[in-house]
């Protein structure tokens, strides 16, 4: 049985995720910004919670961690380098570390940029390598967008995004916020002649009109539509007047433009 992912909306526009390995019944949550919205989904899964996985220290991603750990005797895992500003960690993770979710493997990727020690979780079914993997990337890569640079510089975030863009194209993307519509409007302002982007905007407008989440995306979709992964694209470079800049410089200009963008 592959991984089952339940999307749990909380706070204004955050997503926490409940991850279930249905073979073993093992459960994990990613980024519980508050505990209450997760209680019913966890009850429906037999009140079992093995792991609480934290991508970074911002309150809207960790606010419910301690309460959930206490109620379910779950273990908390997060970046070793951020141990002093995360809830007490039972596992201190660095790049490449893995933990088991039943038969599934949760691999740690260092993804600095939004914060200095941000990490992402790649869930792989090592017994069925043909099965697409699932990436839980917090506030690093958003659908058609990326996280703000609170602690990292543009070059750091660009390196991180290149690393994520190099994952297999079928990898599914589960991000920390529902920012998709606003991201798509900015994306169109810098990449207006991209037909894949226009088609994707139509899709996500329909999803949101029905009150549905826009996650998951895939690496293939993001490579085709996310301007922050497309710093090499000649049309985007031309539009910014940066034909001869480095990729990281184009990325930095896109990030600044998004920070100042009013749709
Ligand atoms: Zn954040």
pLDDT of residue 231 exceeding 70, the answer is yes
177 is catalytic: yes
pLDDT score at 262: 84
Looking at the predicted structure, is the pLDDT value of residue 54 above 70?
A: yes
Arithmetic mean of pLDDT, 29-40:
98
CA distance 29 to 172: 17
User: Residue 232 is encoded by which pair of tokens?
Assistant: 């090499």
Q: What is the largest CA-CA distance in the chain?
A: 57
Q: What pLDDT, on a 0 to 100 scale, did the predictor assign at position 127? A: 86
Which candidate, 258, 262, 2, places its Cα nearest to that of 125? 2
Asked whether residue 263 carries a pLDDT value surpassing 80, the answer given is no
Determine how many CB atoms are found less than 10 A away from the CB of residue 132.
18
- The tokens describing 2, both together, are 């592959």
Rounded to the nearest angstrom, the distance between the alpha carbon of 118 and the centre of ligand 1 is 9
Catalytic: 61? yes
Ion ligand 1: protein residues whose beta carbon lies under 5 Å:
58, 139
For strand 75-79 and strand 51-53, is the pairing parallel, antiparallel, or unpaired?
A: parallel
Dist. CA 104–CA 127, nearest whole Å: 8
Q: What is the mean pLDDT of residues 20-27?
A: 94
Q: Is the bond preceding residue 55 a cis peptide, omega within 30 degrees? A: no
d(CA 133, CA 218): 10
Full-model pTM: 0.97
- Joined together, the tokens standing for residue 118 give 């941000």
* Catalytic residue check, 134: no
């Amino acid at each position: 049985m592959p991984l089952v992912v339940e999307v749990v909306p909380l706070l204004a526009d955050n997503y926490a995720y409940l991850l279930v390995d249905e073979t073993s019944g093992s459960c994990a949550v990613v980024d519980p910004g508050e505990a209450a919205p997760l209680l019913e989904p966890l009850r429906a899964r037999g009140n079992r919670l093995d792991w609480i996985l934290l991508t970074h220290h911002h309150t809207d991603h960790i606010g419910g961690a301690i309460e959930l750990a206490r109620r379910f005797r779950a273990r908390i895992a997060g970046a070793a380098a951020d141990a002093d500003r995360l809830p007490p960690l039972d596992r201190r993770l660095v790049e490449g570390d893995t933990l088991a979710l039943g038969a599934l493997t949760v691999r740690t990727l260092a993804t600095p940029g939004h914060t200095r020690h941000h990490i992402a979780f790649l869930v792989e079914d090592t017994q069925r390598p043909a099965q697409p993997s699932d990436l839980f990337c917090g506030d690093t890569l958003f659908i058609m967008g990326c996280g703000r640079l609170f602690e990292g510089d543009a070059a750091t975030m660009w390196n991180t995004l290149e690393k994520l863009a190099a994952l297999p194209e079928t990898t599914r993307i589960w991000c920390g916020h529902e920012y998709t519509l606003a991201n798509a409007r900015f994306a169109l302002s810098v990449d207006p002649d991209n037909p894949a982007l226009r088609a994707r905007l139509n899709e996500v407008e329909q999803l949101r009109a029905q009150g549905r989440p826009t996650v998951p995306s895939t690496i293939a979709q993001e490579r085709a539509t996310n301007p922050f992964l497309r710093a090499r694209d000649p049309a985007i470079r031309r539009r910014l007047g940066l034909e001869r800049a480095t990729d990281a410089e184009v990325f930095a200009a896109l990030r600044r433009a998004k920070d100042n963008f009013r749709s």
